[in-house]
Chains A and B, each alone.
Chain A
């Protein structure tokens, strides 16, 4: 006999669901509206605001920049984050306890402060190109997440498995790739997705580091909103959502989304 759910519980669940999904529905609705201003429910149905994104040169360029920065920053953060997480967990007993906290400290600093100090100390000090500053900034922003997520999956890894492989004749570096990495794959995928999404949606750091001629999509969106109040904003948002879902889908197809089951 199936358990009977309390009506109040069902009602509450529906409310939470509306709270989570409602804004998304409104944005999607506004994006397909055939009006020249933001409105919900949509009047008429049109995809012209999506066309408008690609008609505006600045959007085209910033989408490309955002993707490039996100991919590069995520890649660099994984390159630093995986070995760092490995060392922090493998030698947890030998290392001082505060060290792993140190690696996640940047999360505690308000992103605006981080952005401003990057502008002052990286962009001005070294006269670094905008693109490089953006990649550096985003890497610093997402590195703590990467380390946190991969550490969580390494925490349940039994390092005697690694020793078993070494004792059977596999050199340590090879063991890292053939034994350790496949076993923290889910953590790496989760870190990748989280890092990518964080980077592509970032405003507070990018706003300091973008400059003439080079901007990211969220910053361009902000600039556009200051001048126009048309549904382009909503359609860009939908585009960002689709992009995020697409990345997750690709990652799932190529690497497997087993981490959701764990």
Chain B
């Protein structure tokens, strides 16, 4: 029983990372109708930035500064690479995000080289005992940080004027412009926020992985895709629930089902999602487009 609880908490910690990155994908999908294949490498790049900063600054200062840099970088990507081709076919825009994936990976190796790095965890590695069960503080910290950033973002979207403008611009761009929302600025802002979420995912993933290199986010991006699809690609709530749920399921399957083991975790997770999709073609929380045929 204690073991099961530990595994669930550990699954929630990975799930928080998947959820952050999945939420980033959903944000960009809602604003631009494009799945951003570069999201994982954007997160990886900011993690390397954080590693460089952490050599000179206290951890949380480096953390905060990284988020600022991530925001600027995300917005800049939208302005420079996505906006000029906003009228191109969706597949063209997706291909550009694949270009971002490959290019950023190359750039990071050019700057930081091939050797793996370590980013220390801000949380102590000492376990804490709650009701006789030992939990890793690192896991609990990861869950807390992921949920906190999601909560802050949720408040921003619901309670602020700019948040309202972001939601409106994603739902109905032309009507938004008529009420004075600068839709272009909102898109850049959305990409910036998505990059911030990705940065948080990267910063939480790095210590969990032990050491990290330029390919650190690729499996996480796959889980995030899966989580976003599971929840419904246009549903922020779905991304969070999907991410946390996937983290727990994958961890429990890998631990308790022998056939699955470490290797088949991802295929099994994907299989679950395929089955979910066949039952609910727009994901758990997604809205199904009305099609009359």
Q: Do A and B bind each other?
A: no
Interface residues of A (CB under 8 A from B): none
